[in-house]
Amino acid sequence: MENEASSFETSEMLATFLASTPLLSESWRLCSVANGKPSHEFVIEQIGNTTYVAFCGVQEVLGSPDDDRNWVPFPGVCEELFSPLTYRNDGDDEPVLVHVGLLHIFMSMYNNPDFRNQVLMNMQTSESIVVTGHSVGGTTASLCALWLLSGLRSTSSCPSIFCITFGSPLLGNVGLSRAITRERWGGNFCHVVSKYDLMPRLLLIPIAPIISQICCLVPLWHLCISKMLPLQLHHQVKVEIFSYVCKELQAQPGERSMMVSYWPFGNYFFCSDEGAICVDNATSVIKMMQLLFMMGSPSCCIEDHLKYGEYVRNVCSQFLESRSFAKGEHPELSYDAGVALALQSSGIPWQEPSAGPARDCLKVARRMGRTPNLNCANLAIKLSKITPYRAEIEWYKALCDQSDDQMGYYDSFKQRRASKREFKVNMNRHKLATFWDHVIHMMESNRLPHDFEKRNKWVNASQFYKLLVEPLDIAEYYRTGMHRIKGHYINHGRARRYQIFDRWWEGRAVSGHNYYRSKFASLTQDTLFWARVEESREWLDNVRSQNDSGILDFLWQKLDDFYRHASSLIESKEVSIDVLAKNSSYCLWEKDYKELKSQQEQWRSQLSGFIDGELVL
């Protein structure tokens, strides 16, 4: 399989799309309207089948961005709004953090019932929602888009969500960027950044010295946009600000690693008078911000924040026009032609010495390796190669179900001895886990098609794997006594891949037909069934040793609930025959449960009769 031919395919497609539709111009128009409104105001307008939601960019941001105390765990403070972002990669030590002041602005907006009602009402009549904002309004728009994406992820029919920001400061840390990439939402965000605008670059450097210089004139951070801003700053102050920012941006990565706390996410649309380029690699985005800004001047770095209207008009009129290089400047390779075109669009001459770092930056942004579809095809080949591992586990299950000891699949593996057969099954279990973890890693690093988790082939394959292998994982967990160390499997031991596969299965397209089984399922449909059995066994032991009536009632309620759940599965034949094996954990538990239940009812009957007799006497 060959590597990807076009390194600019994704960015060029997005840039061309934006330039050829009214999305940019309409978004900026509504941003301008919103900027004329008081703080915490918004504008909603429906154009055709598209609803635009624009946020005011004149906002007061609480706290200094340089203060670590102003980082807030996200979405810990608003779990119900951004729940998908709580999932984290195994071994990922980066928490998801945002600036508390920026989050506070969005929460103030969200707590307005009028805002929520208008957005939800327009969602019912729109095919797409475009959320937009200028300056700090852009961070509000980003949080609004994340809220909508989080709420709609499990809905089969919902409008598409797209966020366009103009000159927006960075919102959160690398953990937020990775979480958005993991959820495959990066393509829903486009951040328009002008060539010299200071605001998007402000949080890449320690800005406290800037604030101290200009706070007596205008609080640049606390009031992030004002039409009078360019007039309020003396030229010498602009020179000092520009010199300071350039010096910090030029710092080597090793010197600035502790300073760069904020991190970009999504696509960045860098615009200039010459055109625009689109970059989606976070490292390249930061480098382009540095290179372009240092080509500017003290006045440009402030005034450019207010010139997005001009840039939008230039992009829409120029971007689709054909460009030509001067005689003798035609690169021979198609890849170099793409780099040269991108440099020209950003106003950097191809043959200038300063173009060298920019060329390197764009080459870093290149999508290396195979295209997502080719990666998917390669994974399909690997899936076929691991089929024998799965088949051997199926064969083992069939042997267990037919065994004379009548323990069934789960208990046979849990109580296994050091035999060659069980050792091979355990090795196959690990090999399958490694393959599926690799699939998830590729998906979350955007190396697979964006609809990968909705393709029937992979949804069904992952579901079958989960039904077949998770009972073995549960058996191993309790066999090794991990429940006594970490807690029960469901809350403390379940692998993250199973949670992801649950979401894939729940999000699949389901027909309206109901099917009734005429015989027991080949695999128990509740993959957590055996973990529930293990928990119920502990509850039953606690009932025998518990004297507190309140706790006893609580335990009996949980036991009764599980018994009803298990009975329902058995009645609908949603379990495998190993559940009903004579010496299976479930059948032994059911026997103990019914005996103890009978004793409890008998004791209560005797106690009731005794009390009635006392009352009669």
Q: Residues 517, 474, 524, CA angle at the centre, nearest 5°?
A: 5
> Is 354 designated active site?
no
Active-site residue flag, 450 = no
Q: What is the DSSP letter of 142?
A: H
β 160-166/189-194 pair status: parallel
- Asked if residues 446 and 184 have their Cβ atoms less than 8 Å apart, the reply is yes
Token pair of 377, please?
């095809």
Smallest CA-to-CA distance from 200 within 103, 297, 304 is with 304
Q: For residue 221, give the nearest of 202, 195, 244, 242 by alpha carbon.
A: 202
Residue 268: its H or E element: strand 267-272
Of 159, 137, 143, nearest to 28 by C-alpha is: 137
Q: DSSP secondary structure string, 44-89?
A: EEEETTEEEEEE-S--BPPS-TT-GGGEEETTGGGTTTSGGGG---
| Cα distance between residue 414 and residue 583, in whole Å | 13
- Distance from C-alpha of 464 to C-alpha of 86, rounded to nearest angstrom: 26
Strand 275-279 relative to strand 97-99, pairing: unpaired
Whether 592 is catalytic = no
Residues 6+ away with beta carbon under 8 Å from 49: 126, 127, 128
Strand-pair category, 97-99 with 50-55: unpaired
Q: Which of 467, 470, 459, 565 is nearest to 510 (CA)?
A: 459
Q: Which of 104, 134, 191, 305 is catalytic?
A: 305
Determine which one of 99, 126, 191, 197 is catalytic. 197
Q: How far apart are CA 128 and CA 90, in angstroms?
A: 34
Contact 349, 272 (CB under 8 A): no
Please give the Cα distance from 15 to 160 (Å, whole number): 18
Classify the C-alpha dihedral 603-605-607-613 as positive or negative. negative
The answer to whether 99 and 207 are in contact (CB under 8 A) is no
Give the active site residue among 27, 135, 261, 584.
135
With tokens 């007799």, the residue in question is 613
Q: How far is CA 542 from CA 111, 325, 478, 537, in A?
A: 45, 81, 18, 9
> Could you tell me the two tokens for 531?
């973990």
Instruction: Report the candidate in 189, 143, 194, 206 with the shortest Cα–Cα distance to residue 167.
Output: 194
Annotated catalytic residues are 135, 197, 305
